[in-house]
Chain A
C-alpha cells in the first residue's frame, strides 16, 4: 500500500496541472494541445500525463507543445519533436510498429484463437445428449425384460 500512497501523493500535489497562464488564446490550438498533452508522459512521474501532472518538467513540456503548435506544426510533428528529444518513453500510447505488434495484436489475436477453441470444443461433442445406458444398466434392463 505504501507505494500506492507514494504514487498517489505525486498525483495529488496541489499546484494544478495546466495553469491559467499556459493556455493559448486560440481555443482550437489549445484544445489540440490538450489532446496531445494527454498522450505524453510526464517523464519524472509515475504513469501520469503532462496534462494533469504538476511537475516542473511537465509544465515545460506543456509549454513546448504549445510553442510548437503556435509555430504551425501539425499534431504528428509536435509529438515527433517531443519524442526526438525525450525518447519513446514519453508516449503513453506505444506506437503501432513491429516491436509493439504483440502488444497491440494480443487482444484481437487472443479473441480469435479463443473463439476458435471454444467453437471446436462445443461442436466436438454431440449436439444433443443421448443418455446411453451403461453396460450394467443394459444388463439389468435385459434381465427385467426377461431376455
Chain B
C-alpha cells in the first residue's frame, strides 16, 4: 500500500510542477505578486511529496518488500543494511527518483532561502526549475516507474551487483547527482536572466554559490568513483576515459569555467553573455551525460535502437532544454551589455584564458566521446576512441592551464603588468624548475612525464603560496601583522588558494603514479618470497572464509622494506552466490609516498596462485588533491558576501571588494 502512496505523491508532484512552470512565469511578466508567490508553495510541496515518495521506496528496500518489482530485481534479504539503502539508487528507476529528489530539494531551497531575490527573478527561476522537474517527472512516470508490483512476489531478491556493495560506490551517485542537478540552478538563473534581459553583479552573486556547490559535489562524486575503481577493479587504474566517466567530467570542466567567469561578472560586470552561455552549457552537458548513461547510445547505436523509449524521451528533454535555452540566448544575449573594459593583460584576461582552456578541453572530451557515433553514422566506419587518444589530445590543455594559472591568478584587475607579477613569481619558477631538473637528472630512459608533471605541480603549489604571501605582505611587515592579515583574508581568497593547490596536488599524484609505477605479475606458492622494487613480499597463506553474503579466498602477504615488515596485506577473491559473480578485493596499504597494491589471482592447476603486485608512488595525492579542490570550493561558497543577505540589487560598477 505504502509504495502506491509513493506513486501517488509522484503524480501529485508532477501536477504541481505543471502549475509551477506556468503560473509564476505569467505572474512575473504581469507583475502579479500572488501568482509569483505561488511558486514558493509549490516548490516546497514538490519537495515534500518527492521526499515522501523516495521514503516509501527506501522503506520497501529496507524491509525487503519483494512484491515491488524493483526491490525484487535489485535487493536481497541478506544484504547488509547500508547496501539495502544504497540499492535504492543502484538501479535506473531509483536513481532517476534520486535525481528528481535533489532537483526539487534545490527548488525548495530557493523558495525558502531566496528571500532577498527580487520577486520576478525568483518566480522565473522557480518556473524554469519546474520545467525541468516536470520533464523528468514525466520521464519517471511514463518510462521508469519505480512502483510496479509483481503479481507473484519471489521469496528472495536478485541482489545488487556485488561490485556496488561498497561504501565508495554507495555514495558516488548521490554526490554526482547533487553536482549534475546543482547545475540546473545556474541554468535556471541564466534562463531567467535572459527573459529579464539583465545580468549584474547581484545576479552573479546568486549564481556563483550554486555553481560552486554543484562543482564541489561533482568533484567529490568523481573522486569517489575513481577511488572506487582504483581499489575495486583490481589493477589500480583510476580513470579510464569511459563515455560514462566523460559524461561526468564534461560538466565538471564547464562548471569550473563557469565558477571562474561568474567572478568576472560579479567583480567587473563584464563577460556577462559568455557567463550566461556557460551556465546553459554546463547544465546541457549534465543532460547530455544523463542521456549518454541512460540511453546507451555511445556504447552502440544498435543498443539504442533496440530499446529506444527511454533514450528518445531524454533526447526530447535534451533537445527542448538545450535548443530552447540556446535559442533564447541567441535572441536575448545582445541585451546583456557589459559596461566595463579591461586590458589584454589583466585578471579578466587571465580568467578568459582559464575559460578558453577549460572549454576547449571539455570540447575535446565531448568530440572524442561522440566521434565513434559520428563516424559510424556519417561514413559507416566502426572505430574506437579510447584512453590513448584522450591522454594525447586532452593533456596539453591541462598543461597550458597549469602553466598560466599562477600568473593569471596574480594579475590585478582591469590592467596589469606581467613584469611585476613575474617578478613575484620568480622564486616559485626557479623552485619548480629545480624540481623538474632534479627529477629529470635522476630518471633513466629520459621520459618527460615525471619531470614535466611534477614541475608543473610544484609551480602551482609554490605559485599559489607566493600569491598568498604577497596578499598578506609576507616578509614586508611584522609577522604578527601577517598572521592578522591571513586571518582577515576573505574566505573566497582562501578558497581560491586551497582550490589551486588542490589542482597542483592532483597533478602531482597523476604524474608520479603514471611515470613511476612498478608492476609485477607472477605465479607463487604459499611460502614463496619475491622482490618488487625496494620491497620484499612473502606469500604466507590462503584461507577460505565466509562473509555475510559471499565466500572468499583470503590471502595473506607481508611486505618488508630493508628487512623490516611494513605491511600485512590481505587480498581477497570473493564469490557472491546470488549473482553468481566473483570479485577481487585488492589489498592496499597506503602511505603518503606510495601505495602497496596486491591482488590475488587465479589458482593454477598445480596449486600455486597468480599474483599481481604494484608499487604506486604518491597515488593517494590524486584524491587528496581532489578533496582539497572541493574544500577550496566550499571555502569560497561560505564567503561572507554569499552569506550576508545584503545583496540588494544595485549597480556598483566600480566596487572592487575582496579579490
Contact = CB atoms under 8 A, between A and B. Distances in A.
Interface of A: 1-5, 7-9, 11-21, 23, 38-39, 41, 46-49, 52, 87-94, 99-100, 102-104, 106-107, 110-111, 114-115, 118-119, 122-123, 125-129
Contact of B241 (A18, A47, A125): A47
Contacts of A41: 384, 386
A48 to B, nearest CB: 8
Given A20-B522, A110-B363, A127-B343, A5 B90 contact: yes
A19 B558 CA distance: 22
Nearest to A102: B367
- Would you list the 9 A-B pairs with minimal beta carbon distance, nearest first? A92-B386, A93-B388, A125-B341, A14-B582, A107-B364, A20-B523, A16-B601, A1-B95, A89-B382
A118 to B, nearest CB: 5
Interface string B215-253: 000000000000001001111010011111000000000
Contact of B360 (A16, A38, A100, A114): A114
B344 A103 contact: no
A9 B163 contact: yes
Interface string B141-180: 0000000000000000000010110000000010000000
A61 to B, nearest CB: 14
A107 B360 contact: yes
Contacts of A52: 235, 237
B610 A20 contact: yes
Contacts of B229: 8, 11
B393 interface: yes
A4 B388 contact: no
A14 B237 contact: no
Most chain B CB within 10 A, of A4, A17, A21, A119, is at: A4
A18 B119 CA distance: 63
Contacts of A21: 523
A89 B383 CA distance: 4
Nearest to A41: B384
A53 to B, nearest CB: 11
A1 B352 contact: no
B589 interface: no
Contact of A1 (B92, B242, B610): B92
Given A1-B293, A128-B341, A93 B352 contact: no
B384 A92 contact: yes
B629 to A, nearest CB: 23
A19 B601 CA distance: 9
A100 B384 CA distance: 11
A88 B389 CA distance: 14
B342 A122 contact: yes
A89 B384 contact: yes
Contacts of B342: 122
A27 to B, nearest CB: 12
Contact of A107 (B91, B349, B381, B397): B397
Contact of A16 (B235, B340, B583): B235
A122 B344 contact: yes
B133 interface: no
A14 B602 contact: yes
A128 B383 contact: no
Given A1-B92, A106-B367, A13 B349 contact: no
B112 interface: no
Contacts, number: 172
B59 interface: no
Contacts of B601: 14-16, 19-20
A122 to B, nearest CB: 6
B232 A12 contact: yes
A93 B375 CA distance: 14
Interface in B356-396: 356-357, 359-361, 363-364, 367-368, 371, 375, 379, 381-389, 392-394, 396
Contact of B163 (A12, A106, A114): A12
B545 to A, nearest CB: 16
B89 interface: yes
Given A1-B90, A16-B612, A107-B396, 10 more contacts: A1-B92, A12-B163, A12-B234, A20-B521, A41-B384, A93-B385, A94-B383, A118-B353, A126-B341, A127-B341
B599 A16 contact: yes
Contacts of B582: 13-14
B198 interface: no
Nearest to B228: A8
B388 A92 contact: yes
B428 to A, nearest CB: 25
A15 B364 CA distance: 34
Contact of B363 (A9, A46, A106, A118): A106
Contacts of B92: 1-2
A91 B415 CA distance: 48
Contacts of A1: 89-92, 95, 173, 293
B343 A90 contact: no
A122 B351 CA distance: 12
A92 B389 contact: yes
B335 interface: no
B654 to A, nearest CB: 8
A128 B584 CA distance: 63
A39 B290 CA distance: 28
A38 B363 contact: no
A47 B233 contact: no
A106 B374 CA distance: 14
Contacts of A102: 367
B544 to A, nearest CB: 15
Nearest to A2: B92
Contacts of A110: 360, 363-364
Contacts of B341: 125-129
Nearest to A119: B344
A103 B367 contact: yes
A1 B290 CA distance: 9
Contacts of A89: 382-384
A93 B389 contact: yes
B521 A18 contact: yes
Given A12-B584, A99-B379, A94 B163 contact: no
B371 A103 contact: yes
Contacts of A2: 91-92
B606 to A, nearest CB: 12
Contacts of B95: 1
A49 B584 contact: no
A48 B387 CA distance: 9
A107 B358 CA distance: 11
A2 B96 CA distance: 11
Interface string B581-595: 111100000000000
